[in-house]
Amino acid sequence: MKAKIKLNKSNCCSLSNPAQKAIMNIPGVYGVTVNSFENTAEVEFTSETNLAVIKQLLIEQNIMEADKFKEKAQNWDSPKKIEMANKFVQFIQKNSLFNKELDIIEAGCGTGLVGLNFVNHVNQVTMIDNSPSMLMVLEEKLFEQNLMNVTVIEGTIDDYIGNQVDKIIIFMALHHINNIDSFIDKCYETIRPGGELIIGDLLEEDGSFHYPEQVAHNGFNLNDLNQNLNSKEFKILKSEIFSSISKNNREYPQFVIIAQKNKA
């Protein structure tokens, strides 16, 4: 049997290639080809093992990332989540220009609650997420709706190697990203001059929003984030609270930032 699996970047890019060694050490695996460019490995194995076992062993050794949204993906599209995404979409459609010439990326797209709203209004949408289960739900929608101008990438923004785009949108996913500086730098590099990075997320909170889960950031301080974007040559066009989420008998405010890369 043969399967292609996604690896942690740090493993497959290393010269000594720990991924290759770790996969070959799994009983039942008889072949592995690592593609350091794609951060993937093609694994060949006998019926002595199976893909779920291989993946679990590699997650335990930090060779593969665990799919943190595996249990949530199938029921992600609840009325509450759809309403939340729609409010964000309405805000950005009102405050940013979209037309058929534009290419956009949605990072942390999940099941597509935000990005799919733009498919008919732009030229090309690239949807990036590192959860295979969330992307499986998205891909079912793409297939059912026969959407041809959408490219899906399983991974992070660092896995995008295409042409520059006009806008990068990220909604409720920045708080899951450890290295915000590196994310913003990659966005700056990927956005055309005059293009925009559009961020929607939680204002800083006490960790109760995701409790008992832990995430990389308990929301963001709006001033700090704006200053960070400014320091990386983005101009802040909009920065405001646009909505809030009711949870745990309280309200968690949500902000939106529209930051423009300098035009020249």
Ligand X SMILES: C[S@@+](CC[C@H](N)C(=O)[O-])C[C@H]1O[C@@H](n2cnc3c(N)ncnc32)[C@H](O)[C@@H]1O
Could you say which residues in the range 43-82 bind ligand X, by CB under 6 A?
A: 69, 81
Report the nearest approach of ligand X to the CB of residue 222 (Å). Answer: 19
- Contact pick of 20, 117, 131, 190 for ligand X (by CB under 6 A): 131
Binding string, residues 159-198; x marks residues near ligand X by CB under 6 A: ------------xxx--xx---------------------
For residue 130, the minimal CB distance to ligand X (Å) is 4
**Residue 150 engages ligand X in binding (rule: CB under 6 A):** no
- Closest separation in Å from C-beta 258 to ligand X: 17
Q: Write the CA distances from 229 to 62, 188, 191, 224, 241, integer angstroms.
A: 31, 9, 13, 9, 17
Least spacing, CB of residue 60 vs ligand X, in Å: 20
Does position 238 interact with ligand X (CB under 6 A)? The reply is: no
Binding residues for ligand X, rule CB under 6 A, total 20
Q: Which stretch binds ligand X (CB under 6 A): 30-38, 89-97, 122-130, 137-145?
A: 122-130
Q: Which two tokens stand for residue 252?
A: 């968690």
Task: Please state the closest distance from residue 218 (CB atom) to ligand X, in A.
Answer: 14
Residue closest to ligand X, measured at CB: 110
Following CA atoms 225, 227, 230, 232 in sequence, which dihedral angle do they give, to the nearest 10 degrees? -70
Q: Considering the complex, what minimum distance in angstroms separates the CB of residue 111 from ligand X?
A: 6
| Residues in contact with ligand X, shown as a per-residue x/- string from 75 to 114 under the rule CB under 6 A | ------x---x---------------------xxxx--xx
Using CB under 6 A as the binding rule, whether residue 156 contacts ligand X is answered as yes
Residues that bind ligand X (CB under 6 A): 69, 81, 85, 107-110, 113-114, 128-131, 134, 156, 171-173, 176-177
